Amino acid sequence: MTVLAEHNALTEAGAAGFLQRFEGLRGRLPGRDLPWLASLRDRAAEAFRAQGFPTRRVEAWKYTDLGPLTQSGFGEPLTPVDSTIELPRAAAPRRVVFVDGRFSAELSDPDAPVKSLALHLREVEGLLGSVARIDDLPLVALNTALFEDGALIDLAEGEDGGVVELLSVVRADRPVALHPRHLVRLAPGSKLVLIERAIGQGESRYLHSPVLEFQVAADAHVTHARIQQEGRAGIHLSTVFAEVAEKGTYDSFLLHAGAKLARAEAHVKLAGAFSAAHLNGAQLVGDGQHADCTTFLDHAAPDCPSRQTVKTVLAGRSRGVFQGKIHVHQIAQRTDGYQMNQALLLSEQAEMDAKPQLEIYADDVKCSHGATIGALDENQLFYLRSRGIPEATARSMLIEAFLQEAVESVADEAARAALAEAVAGWWERMAA
């Protein structure tokens, strides 16, 4: 058996443990008295049973191996939540906190427009799962079957939700698996800045696999900054869905800066004319890490622009992946789509896989994509060193300059500052 075939077999076998966990938790999961939710969970479990974890035989997972999921028996997180848990400095005026996948009222701002999903499941019939897919996305199916809590944000027409930080903390003192589910609905004309941060504490391997669903109504605008700073033994597998109505905007930025294995998927549908999407990002990948940014942009209406710039920095023996697909339907005339992936290799052992794709069925469009891979400019490094700047600092300055264009694309000042703080000094910390 080849190494790849062995990994595929282990990955498929690893799904059985999660199905056993679902059977054991079935009678204890939130909303068990709601027939529509019980039916949805059962359907999701069957979809996951039929598919199993994706292996590298699946084209969309060709570059990312989920074999590490089979190496630990993941259990349930510990409870109750300790309100004295150490938290990082807040990135927004209002913050809500989830510890080990569960909402912490003690650590959260009561004025934030966020509820615990587990406590308001009766309000989300018809909303939960309305834009997410489970039949062909097994990780989403697993999340749907096993989620225990999450954030619910439901803004009224014209409401300004302000800037909110959604902080998820995992205390990895034993192997645990978390599957939070977050729902965000913006009514016509409303707006929100959501800074989503995931951090890990402890040394044990763990799985954090959130799913987020955004419904963006006409003329609504959401800025979504995703900052992934999981523990170095963590596995982060997140999926975002967004459906954007006429003249609405989904403006997002992804920052991978942690985890042993990380993959972030985004499935965005521009469903109304003159809607827009920005899917920018940066991946900072250190020695022994694997980071994957995969996006699917669905242009299903005319006169819609989309922009995507993803930059990846790789150090040591690391691997980065970018897969971006723009699908333009026949009805989506006058589409304006742009996609660019750039990678900076700081080591000869680093590897970058890039797969930009265009699938176009309309004839009046302006679409382009590209990818570049290179190393630090030795002349620029020499210039900084000749001015007395230490090598680690000089490299850090050049790396931050490389990432600056992507970070500056974030219009909201608070979100941009949070991203810049996470990026600052990354190389110096790696080199320490």
Considering the chain, what is the average pLDDT of its residues?
Answer: 90
| 3-state SS class at 49 | helix
Location of structure tokens 């003159």: 274
Domain spans of the chain, in order of start: 3-272, 377-432
pLDDT tens-digit readout, 347-368 = 899 999 999 999 999 999 999 9
Residue 1, pLDDT score: 47
How many other CB atoms are there within 10 angstroms of residue 331's CB atom? 13
8 A C-beta contact, residue 295 and residue 277: no
373, burial (CB in 10 Å: exposed 0-12, middle 13-18, buried 19+): middle
pLDDT tens-digit readout, 178-197 = 999 999 999 999 999 999 99
Of residues 163, 172, 21, the one with CA closest to residue 101: 172
Residue 71, pLDDT score: 65
E strand segments, 156-233:
160-171, 177-178, 181-186, 191-201, 206-208, 211-216, 221-229
Greater model confidence, 262 or 13: 262
DSSP bridge partners of 344: 313, 374
Q: What is the rounded average pLDDT of the residues 234-254?
A: 97
Of residues 280, 395, 265, the one with CA closest to residue 342: 280
Residue 256, pLDDT score: 94
Close Cβ partners of 425 (under 8 Å, ≥ 6 residues apart): 396
Residue 405, pLDDT score: 78
Residue 83, pLDDT score: 55
Q: What is the rounded average pLDDT of the residues 307-336?
A: 95
In angstroms, the first-to-last Cα distance of the chain is 40
pLDDT tens-digit readout, 374-424 = 888 888 888 888 888 988 888 888 888 888 878 888 888 888 888 888 888
8 A C-beta contact, residue 207 and residue 237: yes
- Cis amide linkage into residue 80, ω under 30° from 0: yes
Of residues 80, 85, 138, the one with CA closest to residue 107: 85
Q: How confident is the model at residue 162 (pLDDT cuts 50, 70, 90)?
A: very high
Residue 432, pLDDT score: 59
| CA 89/CA 36 separation, integer angstroms | 40
